Amino acid sequence: MSSSVERQVLPTNVKPTHYDLWLKPDLDAFVYDGRVQITLQGVEASKVITLNTNELKIHSATLNVGDASQAALDISYDTDKTRASLTFDQGVPVGAQAILDIKFEGILNNQMVGFYRSSYKDEEGNTKYLATTQFEPTDARRAFPCWDEPSLKATFDITLVAPKEMQALSNMNVIADEAYGEEGTLKQVRFATTPKMSTYLVAFVVGPFDYIEAMTSGEHNGHPIQVRVYAPPGTAEQGRLALNVAVKALEYFAKVFGEPYPLPKMDMVAISEFESGAMENWGLVTYRTIYLLFDEKNSSVQFKKSTAYVVCHELAHQWFGNLVTMQWWNELYLNEAFATWVGWLAVDHIYPEWDIWTSFVNDDMPRALKLDSLRSSHPIEVDVADASEIHQIFDAISYDKGASVIRMLSSWLGVDTFLAGVRRYIQRHKWENASSDNLWTALSEEAGLDVSKFMTLWTKHVGYPVLTVQEGESNIDITQSRYLSTGDVNAQDEKTTWWVPLHLKTSDGQVQPLVLTDDHQSFSLPADGLYKLNAEQTALYRVLYPPSAISRLAGEIRKPDHGLLSSTADRVGLISDVGSLMVSGEQSTASFLDLVQAFEHEQQYFVWSQLASHMASLVSTWYEQPKEVRDQLLKVRSNLFGPLADRLGWEVQATDDDLTNLLRTLALSNAGVSKHEATVAEAKRRFWAYLDGEHEAIHPNLRSCVFNIVLNEFEGDELTRAWDAVLAIYQDESLPTDQRLVALASLGAASDPVLVQRCLAMAMDEVQVRAQDVIYIFSTLGDNSKARDALWDYFVQNFDALHSKFGQNISMFSLIVRSAIRGYASLDRVTSIQQFFVGKDTKEYARALDQALESVQVRAKWVQRDADPVRQYLASA
């Protein structure tokens, strides 16, 4: 781990307080002219001024102090540290104010970072371009020379020169829009001065958009806020869901945080090429199209939930991240973990019928627990020195583990107490930068206890515990140790004794607020022997129950009301624990398969989703086992999901709620890929009917399910015909984005070698697949056991080309690395992959590579340990 003294930060001899930025992008030549006038405060007498630039050409730099003007004597670049140093004759005196005037030129790159170009098709089908930004964490320096560190907040005046027919947007509202130049084709748009803010939150967009708008009530914001969704022409109405959610979320957050939204407007823009899900730029949030636009008629229900959540997450940042900002990127989780937790809090407020916190237990917590079960994980709070390291911590630890720890704390303190502490924190630090210690102090003052003592154990230490339970006559003995999915914990791993809320639930429905503070403690056992730890799964740990306890809990599951496990979250949590502990070897795979049978009459979507996840992991990991074993595993899954699929059927009813629709899709998908005959036959029938023009044959919720089933089942010419048909659906730009991407992802489900190669060829063809969407191909092929080797061979043979194309976008390239590796399950494969990377500079994607390799080791050890017992279990079942 890097220490703080190694951080690549700028000299502190001057401090920026204001930027006046002018930009004139050329959307044909993909360059832009720029001028920035930066107001500086002299901290030390300085003749050399160093600031951040990356791929910018500085034409001139002038320093104005009072009436005196100095041209730079020298301009030198440090490309490794993305800096430029400007040398002046006199410089800036101590305490003086100066204006640094820089004229420069930049590139509208195609890497989805900095100030970049994004393509779209006009009404005639011609490829055109718009200009947009993505600055987090360290790419504002790609757009304009600046002090690109989160603690160096300043105000900004921004002016854009744009084609007169296009929208020009920035963080603030427009204050002037006037003709520019003599040709009459351009306009110059000036925006109001921003509040004091970090450079990574600055944003500007120039492009052709339609918009829809609404206003907040003003009840909690002091005055109504104008909210708009901007989208490509003809698609703005698909932003209606996001617009409605945004209005409600802004009002909710103003109330919850006790602070009005401070800007006069909130614009949300759909960008056709966008690397991440969305970016919380203050007042101008940019989104990948799939997370902002939702077609009520033609989009599937799973995207409704993701749209609502992403909007709430980004708007939560307007307070937590934008108004109060972390000091440095080691506390990224302060932004992302909190926005994740409070984003779900807002979705729960807006859509209480979605059972959001059980969804969190089913989806978010397992992502955190899975990644943090690796030795190659990292603490929530991890120091990072430079841009390559910063990019690599935008992961499930910073987001999902951080949010899970916040949920654990808020559940322990009580949500009302927790939010009161947050309000105290925001009021104390608004407009400034703050640290996690500042947050713990505010929470401690509100709660009347030392929150820091508890939270530091969880944020500054890697990993989490597994609690091993032993039962006596009247007591349970609980021992905590670090959980590793490799199952080989040693003394060096045992560095933390966590403070663990036990939340012991008994058969009378009571939850005892017990806490485990030592490595080993004893607690009273209920008289009837029935108990469950971690009620509602609000705390971050695994529980290893003895077989007798598992048997009793399985008996509870079989009851009509599920008895002690009446909470859906508790059933999900039990499956998650037992399913993960079979991977690490602390419980057998046979025990998990036994437990699965207890859920025969389960009704809840999230429980089935958790079962499906662990069954998919088992089937995927066992892909090199004998065919009869693989077939028997598919039969187990078919016997589980087939009856559920038969009961729910294919027809989506108007009275079905969202969770029922999700359950139907899950059941049919799992039954179909497990070769459940009735499901496969009906999927094939509906597929051909759909292609014949009977579009109602496949409800939008079920298209991914059907495409995957048929491409997995068809062979020969029939498969090729079906694959071409799904490809045509992806290429149909009249369809909603989510439906097109469903088709793209499905293409990798085919096992025919020719079709796999066609998939791979598409990955490097920007005409066919946008760079942001390549991961849909790689991910699906990596999950396809019959395409895995072809994907790896392609990755090896095209490594230089892939790195050249995606290397500037560290997050994207890291995802490609993971997809090419993670599906394997042999130690020999680990060795060969390691050999491939010998001699390569892996610094920028080291975490992704290490985690993917360790995941393969986990799978390999699981198979080595349990292959024979599973074979014997299946043979006797």
Q: List residues with catalytic annotation.
A: 314
Is residue 317 marked as binding? yes
Pairing of strands 57-65, 68-71: antiparallel
Q: Which parts of 698-736 fold into alpha helices (H)?
A: 703-713, 716-731
Q: What burial letters (b/e) apply to 194-232, b meaning 16+ CB within 10 Å?
A: bbebbbbbbbbbbbebebbbeebeeebbeeebebbbbbb
* DSSP 8-state class, residue 6: G
Q: What is the CA 33 to chain-centroid distance, rounded?
A: 34
Q: What is the CA 462 to chain-centroid distance, rounded?
A: 20
Count of other CB atoms within 10 angstroms of residue 427: 13
Pairing of strands 114-121, 127-134: antiparallel
How many angstroms separate the CA atoms of 188 and 23, rounded?
Answer: 10
- Computed on alpha carbons and rounded to an integer, the radius of gyration of the chain in Å comes to 28
What does the DSSP assignment read for 388-426? HHHHTT-STIIIIIHHHHHHHHHHHH-HHHHHHHHHHHH
CA end-to-end span of the chain: 49
How many angstroms separate the CA atoms of 331 and 315, rounded?
Answer: 19
Is residue 313 marked as binding? yes
What does the DSSP assignment read for 505-561? EETTS-EE--EE-SSEEEEEPPTT--EESSGGG-S--EEE--HHHHHHHHHHHHSTT
Q: What burial letters (b/e) apply to 289-327, b meaning 16+ CB within 10 Å?
A: bbbbbbbeeebbbbbbbebbbbbbbbbbbbbbbbbbbbb
Residues contacting residue 637 through CB under 8 Å, at least 6 positions apart: 615, 619, 670, 674
Q: Which parts of 128-285 fold into alpha helices (H)?
A: 240-257
Distances (CA, A) of 47 to 64, 92, 100: 13, 6, 12
Tell me how many degrees the CA angle 470-367-599 measures, rounded to the nearest 5: 60
How many angstroms separate the CA atoms of 740 and 746, rounded?
Answer: 10
How many angstroms separate the CA atoms of 267 and 278, rounded?
Answer: 13
Please, what sign has the CA dihedral across residues 66, 67, 73, 76?
A: positive
Count of other CB atoms within 10 angstroms of residue 167: 18
Say how many CA atoms lie within 13 Å of 165 toward its Cβ.
4
Give the alpha-carbon dihedral of 536, 538, 542, 545, to 10 degrees. -30
Residue 428: both structure tokens together:
């104390």
Q: Which of 197, 162, 164 is nearest to 22 (CA)?
A: 162
Burial of 490 (0-12, 13-18, 19+ CB in 10 A): exposed
Asked whether the beta carbons of 98 and 70 are under 8 A apart, the reply is no
Asked whether the beta carbons of 99 and 38 are under 8 A apart, the reply is yes
Residues in the chain: 877
Residues belonging to the binding site are 313, 317, 336
Residues belonging to the binding site for Zn(2+) are 313, 317, 336
